[in-house]
Structure 1
Amino acid sequence: MKRRIKTSVYFVFAFVIFLTSIGFSPLQVAAADLDLKAESAILIDGETGQILFAKNADIKLPPASMTKMMTEYLTMEAIKNETITWETETGISNYAYRISGDSSSSGIGLRQDKQYTVKDLYEAMAINSDNAASIALAELIAGSEGEFVKMMNQKAEELGMKEYEFVNTTGLSNSDLGEDHPAGTDPNADNLLSARAAALLAYHLVNDYPESLEYSSQLTDELDGRTTQNWNWMLPWNNDNFAQYYYEGIDGLKTGHTDAAGYTFTGTAERDGRRLISVVMKTDSIGARFEQTKKLMDYGFNQFSKQELYPAGYQIEDESTLNVSKGKEDTVEVESKNAITATVKNGEEEAYSVNYRLNEDLLDEDGNLIAPVEKGQVVGTMELIYTGSKANGYITGDGQKQSVDLVATTAVEKSNWFMLALGAIGDFFGNIFTSVKDTVVGWFS
């Protein structure tokens, strides 16, 4: 037996050497081996928000034009709320016009002798990262950039972002804006975001307004007779200069660069129904931000898979029924309404369990369901529990767990008043009997 095991070990060792000699690159790359050349980074599952990788994800850094993701979100929200429409028109203020004329900061030269639609400005902002378009949208929606900045910070709080500070809509330093810096903000301040906060913002943008990807995935934008290009070189360009950065499935989201921020990128890609969102901050070149994003995406797509861990109709062993009080039956059968699907790291398929969390409003003081119970009634949730050694949590909160509704499979009618009364009488005399018995036993003990 020992000889057989030793022979197998030699065979596996030789097989690995053979694969290495022919240039095979194994997919099993541990997170610790990513060697990510970014000061801060994070990778999350785009559907569940599960964090797959994090490096210094909570430090606040200048996000540069990734700031515009919040401007995009609030623009989409204003359209949803019918405050504006895609066809609403607005002019360009002197402030926005001055910024638009600066080609060193993504200025494309908006004109003051015409009206621009919200769609025009949104495309210029999302595709070419035009700063003046961001300012013009903010002024349209809130009346001034200063008021819009208040909306940005309020929305960040609503979304659960923790490490953030918005001082303008563009991602420029306020010092670059001079006397036009938004009212109520420090004239020398920078926007600040952690990688975690940027990923959470991107998560909400992609899930709340998936149409945003229709714009972030466009290669070029046409405005005022000029063609401008998307700064995302991972898109499918027919360009030899960008070919090395192409990544299958990439369709967003936002690049950024300032001297203080370095080169940043919030990317998102979808393959085979799985979406990942990544953030890299403070890389040292235009190309590096895409190279480091590729490392993260490869790690996520190669090391994790979307799996159905528990099917619809699942029942925990020995917990398939719950006790019922005041009903014609004493118990009711329960099961999960839907399947639980999760993004699972290779080799950790068994590192999960589930438990029930019942709706306390439906329980009596003893923890029993109170009749009547309807068939299909939601009585609580079935939660997914990770039992492995490395839990990174979820982008939407450390305490979040994936869960599905727990439902009753049958109905339990409430017992009539006569039977309830008999039960109460029985309980009354039962308690008296128990009390008398205990007293008598006490006399002779």
Structure 2
Amino acid sequence: MFTRITLLKTISSLLLIACILLGSFAQTSYAQEDLMEFAEKTGFPVKEAYRPKASIVIDADSGQILWEDQPDLAWSPASIAKVMTMYLAFEAMEQGKFDLDTTITATEKDVKVSQIYALSNNKIALGVDYPIRDIFSMVAVPSSNVATLMLANLVSDNDGASFIRKMNDKAAELGMNNTTYFNCSGAQIGSFEGLYQAEGIDPNGENKSTARDLAILTYNLLKKYPDVLQFTSKPVVKTMENTPYEETFETYNYSLPGAKYGYDGVDGLKTGSSPLGGFNYIATAKKGDLRLIEVILGVGSWSDQEGEYERHLAGNAILDHAFSTYEYKKLLSKGSNKIEQKEINLEQDLYGFVNKNSEPSFTLADGQLSLKSDLGQVSPNIPAKSVSYQDSETQTGNNNSDKTNAQKTSQSAETPKKEHNYLISSLLAGLGLLFLICSRLFRKRIAGVKRGSHTIATPTTRLFFTLGALSILSAVGAFLFL
């Protein structure tokens, strides 16, 4: 009898493991809905030619990933590199080196840089004092290369190479493990016609980063220097107001409310485009108490300037999908809770983002309870939100002893029931496995621009997947509880 039970239990366990592995694989493919499908539902239709090469959405408070697609693809961020320059300028202000009212006097070299036609710029007049607050607006909105260079020179005392080393050191410090900077603005040093000096730095080097790394940068920027949003939240800005040097700029971030593809809640942050990088942007968006960070990379190509607009349709669709799929709520209340068959006492309420169509699960480790999310954290340097807990008091030793004796007495009586349960579990698990295999076989294959082709779910595959999932859940119930 012992041998039969052991055999049935082994078979049941192996089938359950197989189902769970296949089920999780199918669920990953199914849960990450295809952009082209849900974009239509959100009202921001995306053409296949403008599908982003990489994208990510994270919770700006916790760093939890809510959406990702090739987040670690190395890409040229173009003018998004200016975000790191702004970060280092804010850090220098925090250290007391200057403030928003500090001025930079324009030099002859600055004037010449501003006149380079191939670079995005604004007008700079010789000898004029430009306040840092206006310089920030020039960097953030028209993506002025001369303003970026003036800001970097102020931070580094006109040492271009030193500033680039600061950029790379800060990237390493923040955990941006796949980012390398060769210039401060996104335009190669060689594009500045000899006016941008950085000894020891490849003048033709191309900045590289990833959607994940840029999300990490933006997460830290908003945490430490949220005032950056005052320079990125308006569709139209004026610099040097009430002076002969006043200029008006319209944003390239067309997702800002009031712009061409305005999305409610967007209030930043930076766009970037180049022949190598196509069209990219970082968006920050807030609804109620919730703030999300989105990074979109590689929309379209430089030869088709429509990508400048289409990136915002894709970005809006993904952002709307994240807002509508997830909700932020109280997950557990302070006090007694039962987690993983363990009685614990939480020291405070736990809040977090969860998929509206699923129940949250949790991790217990080292006296901390945290939400277990499907996609995890954007960086290991940003731990998941957690609350402290304590184990509830256990029963006395005598009670434990009595319980053990009672269990031993009833063990022989439960043996036939266990054998029956394992048999039922095996049959249900096998049936679930069959349904999941069918859900994979009947998926529809379509052409794609990123990986040649990919498959999407159909009503038939969804039915098979649902039946498979229900069978697996029933198998687990039979295995554990019947």
Partner of 1:33: 34
The AA in structure 2 aligned to 1:155 is K
Aligned counterpart in structure 1 of residue 378 of structure 2, from 390, 395, 408 = 395
CA contact (8 A) 2:107 2:127 kept: no
The AA in structure 2 aligned to 1:186 is D
Partner of 1:357: 366
2:77 counterpart of 1:60: no
Partner of 2:231: 215
The AA in structure 1 aligned to 2:347 is K
RMSD: 2.3
The AA in structure 1 aligned to 2:383 is Q
Partner of 1:405: 388
The secondary structure found in structure 1 opposite 2:141 is helix
- TM-score where L is the length of structure 1: 0.71
Residue 61 of structure 1 deviates from its aligned partner by: 1.0
- State how far apart, in whole Å, the 2-side matches of 1:133 and 1:408 are: 57
User: Structure 1 residues 348, 152: closer, same or farther in 2, change over 3 A?
Assistant: same
Residue 105 of structure 1 deviates from its aligned partner by: 2.4
Partner of 1:234: 255
Partner of 1:190: 206
CA contact (8 A) 1:93 1:136 kept: no
- State how far apart, in whole Å, the 2-side matches of 1:84 and 1:397 are: 33
CA contact (8 A) 2:53 2:297 kept: yes
The secondary structure found in structure 2 opposite 1:211 is helix
2:93 counterpart of 1:85: no
User: Structure 1 residues 312, 96: closer, same or farther in 2, change over 3 A?
Assistant: farther
The secondary structure found in structure 2 opposite 1:32 is coil
- State how far apart, in whole Å, the 2-side matches of 1:399 and 1:191 are: 24
Aligned counterpart in structure 2 of residue 339 of structure 1, from 349, 373, 394 = 349
1:19-418 correspondence to structure 2 within 5 Å: 30-35=31-36, 37-143=51-157, 144-179=159-194, 180-218=196-234, 219-223=236-240, 224-237=245-258, 242-243=259-260, 245-284=261-300, 285-316=307-338, 335-349=345-359, 351-358=360-367, 381-386=368-373, 391-397=374-380, 400-406=383-389
- State how far apart, in whole Å, the 2-side matches of 1:398 and 1:206 are: 16
- State how far apart, in whole Å, the 2-side matches of 1:311 and 1:103 are: 60
- State how far apart, in whole Å, the 2-side matches of 1:102 and 1:171 are: 15
Partner of 2:469: none
1:1-16 correspondence to structure 2 within 5 Å: none
- State how far apart, in whole Å, the 2-side matches of 1:279 and 1:67 are: 13
CA contact (8 A) 2:238 2:246 kept: no
The AA in structure 1 aligned to 2:376 is G
Q: Per-residue displacement from partner, 1:111-170 (whole Å, max 9, x unpaired)?
A: 222122211211211222111111111111111222111111111111111110111111
Once the two structures are aligned, what percentage of the paired residues are identical?
27
Unpaired runs of 5+ residues, structure 2, are 1-29, 37-45, 301-306, 394-482
Unpaired runs of 5+ residues, structure 1, are 1-28, 321-333, 359-380, 411-445
Residue 46 of structure 1 deviates from its aligned partner by: 1.4
Residue 85 of structure 1 deviates from its aligned partner by: 1.1
- State how far apart, in whole Å, the 2-side matches of 1:173 and 1:210 are: 29
User: Structure 1 residues 406, 97: closer, same or farther in 2, change over 3 A?
Assistant: farther
- State how far apart, in whole Å, the 2-side matches of 1:142 and 1:399 are: 29
- State how far apart, in whole Å, the 2-side matches of 1:148 and 1:305 are: 41
CA contact (8 A) 1:174 1:190 kept: no
- TM-score where L is the length of structure 2: 0.66
The AA in structure 1 aligned to 2:253 is N
CA contact (8 A) 1:125 1:134 kept: yes
- State how far apart, in whole Å, the 2-side matches of 1:167 and 1:94 are: 24
CA contact (8 A) 2:280 2:311 kept: yes
CA contact (8 A) 1:66 1:265 kept: yes
Indicate the structure whose relative CO is greater, using CA pairs within 8 Å and at least 6 residues apart. Answer: 2
CA contact (8 A) 2:256 2:262 kept: yes
CA contact (8 A) 1:216 1:252 kept: yes
Aligned residues: 337
CA contact (8 A) 1:106 1:131 kept: yes
The AA in structure 2 aligned to 1:256 is G
